Structures are given as structure tokens and as C-alpha cells.
Chains A and B, each alone.
Chain A
Amino acid sequence: MPLTGIEIFKLLPRTNCGQCGVPTCLAFAMNLAAGKAELSSCPHVSEEAKAKLEEASAPPIRPVTIGAGEGQVKIGGETVLFRHEKRFENPTAIAMLVRDDMSDDEIAARLEKFRTLRYERVGLMLKPDMVALEAASGDPERFARVAARVHADTGGAAMVLMSEQPPLLARALEAVPGSRPLLYGVTTENLEAMLELAKAHQASLGVKGNSIDEAIAASQKLLDLGCKNVVLDGGARSLKAAFEEQVAIRRAALLQKFRPLGFPTIVFPCRMTDDPMKEALIAATFIAKYGGIVVLSDLEGHSLFPLLVARLNIFTDPQRPMATSEGIYPIGNPDDKSPVLVTSNFSLTYFIVSGEIENSRVPAWLLVQDTEGLSVLTAWAAGKFVADTIAALVKKSGIADRVSHRKIVIPGHLAAESGALEDELKGWQVLVGPREGAHIPAYLKNWQAA
């Protein structure tokens, strides 16, 4: 809960020295409460008061960073229940399970998949984020060796080290110095030793409760001991119970500002079913509904790709239209006789149009105009995608050097612009294409350069 001005006032020195720029501590407190001042402006505030004030102003779900360098992953920091209310901040991290009792070949194969199963999509790289390494062999040396292997073979991907035995974890942490993994799981029994390890290695701690109450107990204790890099597991291992648990944690954190649950979560679809297809649906559920980390039993392109795209969709900022950059996009190796089509730079429009051109199997040049992320119809209505702007794009893009013909296809919705565009683009013939992306393949199949 944010503190009131009076509550803040009680934490200040109350000497009214004026060094903060206002004459009294009370005035300063009021400014702080209103977000109009920074605590650092008061040179006399005590460490204890500082800690209390920071605690009170921390986000309702703390952001937690796991890993170091390139492979670092940030989760949590969420402020809303529904993405349309603002946006979701940090995409659910997707982790692949590796057990240290798997054969070396199996481990190598998994790490190979982790490295190679990545997909480029409109300038974004979609890929899995973490490896969750489970100490199943019980042998500290083996666990440490596999940890080092995972670290090396993934180029330092963020890790979850899974064991409830601090000595095992200690050995692995020595093998991967500076890797700052998530240590899972903390129980009320091993809590002190785990906290010590986390402090020594700048690791974060994954609380493992058998119930939400157990998770709260451990997390409260960690908070009391000053630990803030916490990830929560309330222990639910069925789809329905886990869904309920995720909603419960998110709501308690946001609606009640309940600190012990104000942390990102870790969810284990890999423990909820043996059927990999079903596991994918469970994982999708926790990408949409509040999972901080989702641990998958394995990676397969046919399930990983849909999940990565689902995550991209859910974590897109709803307030900002997705945009593609302006320019010429060759689709399917076009040559100087291939058709030229023009469209807006709203990502969805670009996806659909480029996808349909691909479906048509007719190689083409797609000219994308920067319409500030607006769709064809909206951009046209706003005067941002009209004869003038298209003519300017055709001229500056240099498309005339790529093709020998002089025909350009505009979206059906822009039919009214064709006359004006022909006036602006001397020597070009303007063709009116279909209104709907779905009709592009039929249209292109009948297209003639000559």
C-alpha cells in the first residue's frame, strides 16, 4: 500500500532544516506522497526509514532478473490483471527441463534444440529463454558437471537450478560462477541455507510450497530477512488448481498489495501431464494467465513455435500499434517482371499481405509505406496513405530500378486514389487490387507484366 503524507512524515527527521528545498519535513512528505519529490533530496533520512519508504513504493509484483549477460531474463513487474488495462511488462520466460540423470547424449540433444529452435519474425527473434536443470541423480559432481555443460553449450542462458539440498546447489554454483541462476526450491526447512547461497552467488530464490499458505510462509520469511529476488510456486500440479493459483497470486499482489505474493511465479506444465500436446495447451494457459516462468518437459518446433507466437501476441503493448519498417520487401525471389504491390506498415496488414503473396507462389515486390502503424483503411481515412504519400514512396524507394514494367497495385480500399496517383507518377499504370488479403492469391495468378 502506498504511504500517506502523514505516514511518510513520521519517518522523516522532523527537524525542518529545509535542505530538501521546501521549508518543512511535512511539506516534503506531502510532496513525496504526491510523487512530486524524490526521497534522495533529503540528506538526513535514516537508512531504516529509507528501506521502509522504498518497500512501500515498490511495484506490487517485484521485477526479478535471472542470469547474467546476454542470457539474462527479466520477469515480474506486472501491474495489471488484464492486458488491455495497460500492458503486460515482461513476457513469460519459457524454460526447457533437463535432468542431470539423463544420458550425455540426451542432454546434448536437448541443448542443441535449445540453441537452434529460434525463429525470426518481423525483426524479432522468438526463442526459448531458460534451462531448468533438475538434480535427479543425487550426485553433486554430476549435477555440477551438467550445470557447467548447460552454461557453456547455451552461451550462458539463464538457469533454474532445481534441488532442495543446499550442498548440491552449492557445488553447482561453484561450477557456474557469476551465472546468477534461480535456486528452486526454497522450503521452510532449508530457507536459511538457501538464502546464504543466494546472497553469496547473487542468485534468486524460488519458493516451493506444497500449498499457497506454505509459499506465503516461506516468502514472508525471506522478506523479513531482506530478500527481494523471489519467484513463487504454490505447488498446484493440476491445470485447474494451477490456474486458480495463478489468479490468486496475481490478485493478492495487485488488489491487496499483499507483499508475500508480490513476486513473479514459476509454473510446471511438465508436471501436469505426460502428453506433450496437452502440455502445450497448459503452457499457453499460463502464458496468458500470469506465469512468470513456464517449464516445458522438452522442446519441439511444432509446439514451441505456436507458444512463442502466443506469447508475442499476449505481451504486445495494446496501446502501440505494431509497425513494420518502411521499404521494399522482396517475397519469393522476385525479378524485374514481378508485380509491385503497396500496403501500409501496420504489422498485421504486412503479415497478412506478405503471407498471402507467399501463398500465391507468385514472386512479388511489396512496398511498405510508413503509415504510422495504421491499417490501410484507417491510414487512408486519416490522409496518411494517399496518392501523394504513395507517389513519394515509389520515387524514393528506387523500386523503378528493380522492375522493367511500370505497374503498381494498390489496395482495393484505395481505389479512389488511383486517378490522382497516376497523375503524380508519370509513366506508371495504377492497378486496383483486392480489398481483402485473402483474395490476393487469385489476383496475382492473373497478373501480367506485359
Chain B
Amino acid sequence: MSTLEIKDLHVSIDTEQGTKEILKGVSLTIKTGQTHAIMGPNGSGKSTLASTIAGHPRYNVTSGTITLDGEDVLAMSVDERARAGLFLAMQYPVEVPGVSMTNFLRTAKTAIDGEAPKLRTWTKDVKAAMAQLRIDADFTQRNVNEGFSGGEKKRVEILQLELFKPKFAILDETDSGLDVDALKVVSEGVNRAHAEGNMGTLLITHYTRILRYIKPEFVHVFVDGKVVEEGGPELADRLEEEGYDRYLPGAGAATIAAADAAAQA
């Protein structure tokens, strides 16, 4: 049983206009076996949170902490975080020229496990996982993400999730750009990984449709770099009907209170 704990996280980036604060005090605790959904409008800082957990150099943590079972994640390099058990399925997976999928998957697995996987079982595992995600076998010969469609890139992210078996998976808008069939296939992949019982999931999404397939116990609404509301799955249902409007600037506290009252009624 592991715990990923984010406490009062403030993150800024350097822009041409100077420093810009994007995360303004985020706190969140995820445990093995749990699924948390983070939902929020475009530009609210969801990807920033995900990338900061993974250690992208563009994001500067100005205060707050991230710990994994008490270990300081912020002190770890990007690769150390991955080896400690954090996995980020990216919103926009990067194309890496010159590196074949086969080579990449084997190298990453070796790095994460600290030893090379047994060639025969590994090849079999990769093949089986690809088949379940309906990824063509010839993808192993292609370069990492090179020329993959949006949907193919997302499947390949989940392929890695299933093969690398992280302690915590952060899925950044894995649902976007997927048609209904692909959404199902990808969600099943996440659910399979989850069902093994050793993983916590942070599911970042803008829309609720993926929540038909992946069921979160906790929902956090993210607006302007902060969690503005938290609840159970019912909160997602409400967002489905009402959207984010009531959280946006201009919609004062009174509006939110009124909406709450309406929802309660």
C-alpha cells in the first residue's frame, strides 16, 4: 500500500512576460487502489499538475511538497521518479525519432525493473498487451510515436502503463481525441492495470464521458490552479449537466451556493 501526497503545491513557469503562477496551492492524497478524477476547464492547470509530478523542467515548484511514501519526489530526477513508480500518460505524447518502439519498451522496462526482462516472456507480454489494446503488431518496428495518430499515441501510452506496472498512474486527458471504440479499449486497459490491485490512478479529464468506463471514488474540480470543490462520483454527474460555468470568474460564491442548493433539492 502506497501513498502519493501533494501538499499546498505552488508552481510557476517562466514566460516572456515574466514569471507566471499556475498552481496556487494544490493539496491531494492518493492511495493504492484509489481512483481520483481531476476535472477542470481548459487552462486551469491540470497538465501543469501532471507534468510537475513527473518532473518536467519547465515547471518551477515555488512552495509545497510532493511525497511518495514519505520520500521527497521533488528531489528526484525525472527518471528516478519513474523508477520510484510514477507514470505519466501524456496529453501530447512526444515523437522520438530514430528509436524503435521495441527498443524503447525494452530499455524502459529494464530501467524500471533494474534488470532486463526475460526475452521470451517479454516479447509475449508485449504482443498480448498490444493485441488487447488493438495496436497493430507492426507498431513495434516503428519509431516511438512517430507518425502515430492521436488515438494511436494514447493507446501506446496505456500499453506502457500495462507493461511498466507503476504504483501511481497519472492520466492526462487520455480520453481526448479518442472515438467511442478506442475510448472503451483504452479504459479497459486502465481498468485491467487497476484490477491488479497495486496501483492508484489520477485521472485528468475535461469531459465526463470517460467516467462511464473508469469509475473514480473521488472527484476534484480544478479551476485557476486550485481545487475548488471535492466530492464523490455524484460531483462528476453534476458537472456533466452543468459544466464549469458556475466556477468561472463572474460566477460569484452566491451562484455556487445557489447551484449547490439546487443540486441538493
Do these two chains interact? no
Please report B residues at the A interface, Cβ cutoff 8 Å: none
